[in-house]
Chains A and B, each alone.
Chain A
Amino acid sequence: MSFSVPKKLQTEINRTIKKYPEKRSASLMLLHAVQEEFGYVSNEAIEWIADKLELQPINVYELVTFYPMFRQAPAGKHVLKVCRTLSCALGGAKTLHGHLCNKLGLDRNAHGLQTSKDGQFSVEYVECLASCGTAPVMMCDDDFFEGVSLEKADEILEANQ
């Protein structure tokens, strides 16, 4: 297996596991850590986590398919999540999403996550991000952007080029 986890991450993971009375509990936190490091959760990663937590791979795999935040394939270098729920829909989420898709050469009507040709950005719709007072809201990777006008969206794209 070509999957290898850097030392620093190993240490972090071992520390995480100790926070729980049962190893299995650490599954979600390990999946987050692995996805952060590698950009997605590969089959090798699933096996590695299962081994680490003394589980069957299926026990980890079923989490990856259940929880929307986990990906089984690489995404673009930056992931843009556009909230489309009620307050953001009122605030122009559809226009914002459409604008991003146009700029990146993506299909605004396609389902699920899409990645631009140059691999720089992925775009997806998500449900309420708990920031509805400043709609429309989006995330670029781990950062929140609120009250996102089309100009602001352009700036976000530019800053992450």
Chain B
Amino acid sequence: MPKEYRLILKHADEPRYSNDLGCYLKHGGYKALKKALKLKNKRVEGKGTLSPQEWIREEVKASGLRGRGGAGFSCGLKWSFVDRRSGKPIYLICNADESEPGTFKDRQIIYKDPHQLIEGMIISAYANDVNLAYIYIRGEFVEGAKILDQALAEARENNLLGKNILGSGFDLDIHVHRGAGAYICGEETALFNSLEGKRGEPRNKPPFPTTHGLFGEPTAINNVETLVNVLPIVQMGGEAYAAEGTERSPGTKLFCLSGRVNRPGTYEVEFGATLRDLMDLAGGLVDGSELRAVMLGGAAGSFVGPEALDMPLTLEDTRVAGASLGSGVVMIFDQHDDLVDTVRRIAEFFRDESCGQCVPCRVGTVRQEEVLVRLGRGSHIDDERDLLDDLATVMRDASICGLGQTASGAIRSAIELGLLDGIAATGGTEGEGSR
């Protein structure tokens, strides 16, 4: 029987664990921060003398920590690109937009253990010479925003935030900023615009956030789960952390299981666990279900078939298989599920959520949805394949941001797996009405 390995959700689900500061402190909270703030300049072989900030950044680099928000970019490398020379203020942003369909992991941390996120952010801010940081949280997490506000207030009252934190000379404040229902605002540059009080339209990259981010100034932006992983890295050291998980995907990952399993939910396992392990953890398929397909990575990800059950879930193995791990979505479909309609829903989602700024995505997502509606009405995939191919190529090559670039991925994978073949579907999959 596979086991969970809890580095992040260590205490969150214990019966009497609460989200207030007292409880967090009782469970060893803010020890990593105290350790970080007490660091002195250190001579490190081959690297000369490192300041405490440099040392933390080096440890994060050595840990191999990769972003948990979807793209899996090295956190240490990203931080090393932050422009510290220009003398401009540097911002730290926590991406708590959690809007990829199928993702519900960051909410576990925010709602059940908010101080863990705050502590991770304080250390990350310290390491990056940041004095002002924001948490961009999706608008629907009204309660989550209140929990964070309350936790931040507790932190301020206890000098864990504010001026001269714990006598270290380091100043930092963190504020919560609420989004308002637009999926695209999870994309980092759209998020900056949204935080600046503008429409959430992505910016062209380059320039990248590390030089031109929030207010055009250097910015480090990371997902909730990424920032929380900084704590075990500071506690155990980068090298020890790197030994967890696999070589290229170190550490643990929060996977979000939903669909036809007995116990859907968030499961934390070491990278390298297989799909089968996760499904076992979630109590296996529901009675009478046969596995038909698994969606990995959410709407922006792709489908894999039952033959992928023994694929290790790492960033590298999924990539080799032409899939992506994304934010950790594992959605299970069985033989009864109407996959043509599911895929049409994905197309509808992207049409709805496209910010409309660039033509390939704005028009491509509409055309793509039209094809899927036709398929639902009984048209054959062989007659639509060329058009879908064309659309996919244009969207992938010519869209400004990841939304347009990935909007055809799940659909293409469904075609390749034969999920849309020769179905005169269930008849009128008209759609449920769109906004």
Contacts and interface: CB of A to CB of B under 8 A. Distances in A.
Interface string A37-70: 0000000000000000101000100110011111
B432 A66 contact: no
Given A32-B180, A89-B345, A22 B256 contact: no
A14 interface: no
A67 B435 contact: no
Contact of A53 (B175, B177, B197): B197
A133 interface: yes
Interface stretch (B35-43, B102-110, B236-244): B102-110
B180 A68 contact: yes
B99 to A, nearest CB: 7
Interface string B128-142: 000010000011111
Contact of B256 (A29, A125, A127, A133): A133
B180 A84 contact: no
Most buried by B among A66, A86, A90: A86
A29 B333 contact: no
A74 to B, nearest CB: 18
B99 A128 contact: yes
B197 A130 contact: no
Interface stretch (B18-26, B159-167, B245-253, B257-265): B257-265
Interface string A1-40: 0000000000000000001111011111101100000000
B132 A130 contact: no
B200 A67 contact: yes
Chain A binding surface SS class: mixed
Interface string A122-161: 0011111111111100010011100000000000000000
B362 interface: no
Contacts of B140: 69, 81, 126, 129-130, 139
Given A19-B175, A62-B199, A109-B433, A132 B102 contact: yes
The 10 closest A-B CB pairs, nearest first, are: A27-B197, A67-B180, A68-B181, A69-B181, A24-B197, A87-B258, A142-B142, A69-B180, A133-B264, A128-B101
Interface of B: 98-104, 106-107, 132, 138-143, 175, 177-183, 194-200, 215, 256-260, 264-266, 295, 299, 331, 333, 337, 341-342, 345-346, 349, 352-353, 432-435
30 contacts: A21-B132, A24-B197, A25-B177, A26-B197, A28-B179, A28-B194, A28-B197, A68-B180, A68-B181, A68-B435, A70-B180, A84-B432, A85-B102, A86-B299, A87-B101, A87-B259, A87-B264, A89-B341, A89-B432, A90-B337, A108-B433, A111-B433, A111-B435, A125-B432, A127-B183, A127-B352, A130-B98, A130-B138, A130-B140, A131-B104
